Amino acid sequence: MKLFSRFLTEAESSKVADQARKLNLKSDGHGGWYDSRGEFVAKTEGGKLKFYNQRQRAGQDPPQNRGGQQAQAATQAKGGAAATATRERKPKADAGKSDLDRTLDTLTVVFGRFNPPTAGHEKLLNAAEKAAAGGDLKIYPSRTVEPKKNPIDPDMKVSYMRKMFPKFEDEIINDPEMRSIFNVLIAANDEGYKSINIVVGADRLGEFESLATKYNGSEYFDFPDGIRTISAGPREDDAEGVEGISSSKLRKAVVDDDFKAFKKGLPKSIDDGDSQALFDAVRTGMQIKKVGKKEAKELWQIAPRLDQQTLREKYVTKKIFRINDIVENLNTGMVGEIIRRGTNYLICVTKENVMFKSWIKDLNEQTKIKPVTKTGAYGVSANKREVGTSSHRKYAQSMVPGQEEIKNFNIREFINKYRKK
């Protein structure tokens, strides 16, 4: 009888062989793979093809950073033209390219909130792996943290994602600079990739496609072989199984203090201890203080997809998303100022003059922050912010709503009043 471990090994070997066959690679019989020109390009590691020196093929110069060229092009633009000005497109150079060449020149990316990560995200990552076909894959969790829709911070989010999806541990990137899909595309352009695959849920396909293709060929990024947006499959809030699982439902389960419903939305690979710890982390991030007791939370705020009627009522009466407000698109990470209000969407512009359209269910309002001045944060000089001084205490009070009115504050009286008897 065949051992189960041997069965698994043979299954992995078959998967690698199928992938290599699609790329027209030949095996050396010892885990190494050669292309049609006889060059060593990959080897089998951990049941997967790992490509050798992916960004620099033998006989080629290393890819050049094109950031300097882009800056020069921007400088030469007429009268400092807006950042949306486009360059002449480069002709596509697909002729004569092998499948392997195209694979090595392509980066597949996933950008999402994962707040919190769910079993549904596992389906997304598997679709991305399939699209990458052995090439580079990078998974970027968004960076925003706020109590209603983004309760856990990026470091914690990445940590749990690597536990839930260990197969993608190396591909999950924790980079503070990658705040939006635009940042990701600019970085990929500088690294020399010729084409991009963006893998998203079916409900977000048009949004990513519009943004990426509109600005491909601009001074921001230029991928001569194009940008493809690929659907990971449908997602319906009312559906059964993995298609119906969403972060919105898990946040609602936390508000309802329903651990059973929360656990049901997580991958089966995560144990009860980690599940409970994530549940508690989301609850803490959402600032729910009463353990074991339901709290009244506005559903349209924590999970707008699940209460779009109330969301629209707030929007129509202009209680949210007003002209000149600063908003963030929760799917793409783009942050901009509202310049136009549609029926159920907004047109926004970033500080770099990049325009994007968003449905109101995918947006989050941001607080405007005063810029740092020459005298220091919020116009307060550094010598008035020294810790332990009275001026620092006044500065700290000014940052707390309701504390500005305290004029004659005596620190000794305060300490004596609340000193433990």
Domain boundary among 51, 67, 87: 51
Regions of the chain short of the pLDDT cut 50: 1-5, 7-9, 11, 53-95, 292, 368-380, 404-405
Residue 350 lies in a domain: no
**Residue 250 near residue 265 (C-beta atoms within 8 A):** yes
- What was the pLDDT predicted at 31? 80
Question: Could you tell me which residues come within 8 angstroms of residue 15 by beta carbon, excluding any fewer than 6 positions away?
Answer: 47
DSSP run (H or E) holding 315: helix 308-316
CA angle 148, 113, 261 (to 5 degrees): 65
Could you tell me the residue range of the domain that residue 396 belongs to?
377-418
Both tokens of residue 395? 């500065």
- What was the pLDDT predicted at 180? 94
Domain boundary among 51, 69, 90: 51
- What was the pLDDT predicted at 300? 84
Name the maximum alpha-carbon separation found in the chain. Answer: 86
Dist CA 250 CA 264 (whole Å): 9
**pLDDT digit string (tens) for 44-103?**
877 776 665 433 333 333 333 333 344 333 333 333 333 333 333 344 444 455 555 556
Residue 361 lies in a domain: no
| Peptide bond preceding 116 in cis form (omega within 30 of 0) | yes
Domain boundary among 12, 36, 51: 51
Question: Could you tell me which residues come within 8 angstroms of residue 281 by beta carbon, excluding any fewer than 6 positions away?
Answer: 116, 151, 152, 156
Residue 99 lies in a domain: no
- What was the pLDDT predicted at 28? 81
CA-to-CA separations, 282 to 112, 117, 153, 250, 331, in angstroms, rounded: 17, 11, 10, 9, 19
- Structural domains in the chain (count): 3
- What was the pLDDT predicted at 85? 32
Residue 381 lies in a domain: yes
Residue 148 lies in a domain: no
Dist CA 124 CA 172 (whole Å): 13
- What was the pLDDT predicted at 92? 41
DSSP H stretches of helix in 93-232: 99-104, 119-132, 154-164, 181-190, 205-215
Residue 216 lies in a domain: no
Dist CA 123 CA 126 (whole Å): 5
Residue 181 lies in a domain: no
- What was the pLDDT predicted at 305? 80
DSSP character for 376? B
- What was the pLDDT predicted at 4? 45
Q: Can you tell me which residue has the tokens 């963030």?
A: 328
Residue 265 lies in a domain: yes
